[in-house]
Amino acid sequence: MNEQVITNASELSEKLFEQVLKENGALISGAVRAFQVEPLKSENSNIFRVRLEYANGSTGSLPASLFLKMCGGANSHDFGSSEVEYYRRDYAGHSNLPLLKCYSAVYSAEKKSYHLLLEDLTGTHGPSWEKVSSGAFAYPVAEGLGRLHSFWWCGEDTIPAGLEWPVDLQVARFFLHMQPGPALLLQEIKDDLDADTLGLAKEITGLLPARLLERSKNPNGFTLVHGDLNPGNILSPDGAAAGPIYLIDRQPFEWSLTTWLGVSDLAYMLVLWLEPELRRKIEVEVVETYYASLRANGVTGYSREQLWQDYRLSVMQCLYIPFEWCILEEDRRKMHWLWSMEFQRVLTATRDLNCQELLTQPLAYC
């Protein structure tokens, strides 16, 4: 298996593609005769569409193109090996999941870089930004998350081997990183907030960390989460075409919660990225779609009541996304349009679902 990380498109060769495709059974006989590299736009990585040509008589599935993603380097954030493990370890050997086929994934700790060679769907799929107004992508995402989360699902007495548990250190890292955010955000917009909204934000900030730490003592409902299901990380079929969705770009930071409440992925998508009116309209159906998918994929002992309590806790946890945007002054200034919108959406959802009552009443486990 090729374990050499690709850090530049100039390192590509016909021999490399032949080796990778043969290892994956996509090239049974014959050879890669030529390839063409087409750069694509991306803010946080270098991505390319690689078109392949094969020698006459070659056999196998012979993909016409591949998608190359390269991350890291001296001037980039080091996401570690998480995205490589997403394909090579976390769900290896499992089919029928909302994941792209991966032909090669290599991480180099020395170079703080990694590459992915994935199936190329640029001709049929794209990010879901244009579908946010309808929310149509939310249903297949909920169903796909149920399939994905079931493989690492924790029960009352069952924790999958290899899953980080307990999560106390993760929770501590998360809130230590977030500590400056609330005060910086509230200071930035305090003159624009009414007393009730300011009070609710302070109540969540003061009480939620202890509530989440308490919840994390019971593993039922925890799993390996994606953590960043914004529409750009959800590949949907182009236009009104039908077809599967894919969840991409799992790149947690060092402070991210990776073993966490599964339904938090759903809250992140619905609360932060949908207009409140649309969220209210589809929220119950989407959460129920997720629950049905969990059960269809073997999850038992997790009640609907527990799911909704966990969802409401996760809604309030979403407040820490705008808090995080405010930690660095540059982000606070440039991304004001985003975090201020997210802040209002989280508090609106909190009120809609009366989530704040969970801050003071005993949590139920059922």
Q: What is the residue-wise DSSP string for 226-287?
A: -----GGGEEEESTT-----EE------TT---EEETHHHHHHHHHHHS-HHHHHHHHHHHH
Nearest-angstrom CA–CA distance, 289 and 135: 14
How confident is the model over 13-51, as pLDDT tens digits? 999 999 999 999 999 999 999 999 999 998 889 999 999
Query: Residue 46 is encoded by which pair of tokens?
Result: 């270098």
User: Percent of the chain scored above 70 by pLDDT?
Assistant: 98
Residue 79 pLDDT? 79
Domain covering 126-359: architecture: Alpha-Beta Complex (3.90)
How confident is the model over 112-146, as pLDDT tens digits? 999 999 999 999 999 999 999 999 999 999 999 99
Q: Which of 91, 209, 198 is nearest to 149 (CA)?
A: 91
Asked if 9-119 and 126-359 have one fold, the answer is no
Nearest-angstrom CA–CA distance, 313 and 246: 26
CATH fold for the domain made of 9-119: Phosphorylase Kinase; domain 1 (3.30.200)
Instruction: Judge whether 111 and 7 are in contact, CB under 8 Å.
Output: yes
Q: What is the residue-wise DSSP string for 303-341?
A: -HHHHHHHHHHHHHHTTHHHHHHTSSHHHHHHTHHHHHH
**Does the pLDDT at position 174 exceed 90?**
yes
Average pLDDT of 84-94?
A: 93
The CA distances from residue 117 to 10, 32, 68, 347, in Å, are 15, 16, 5, 40
Q: Where are the domains of the chain?
A: 9-119, 126-359
DSSP strand pairing (65-72 vs 234-237): unpaired
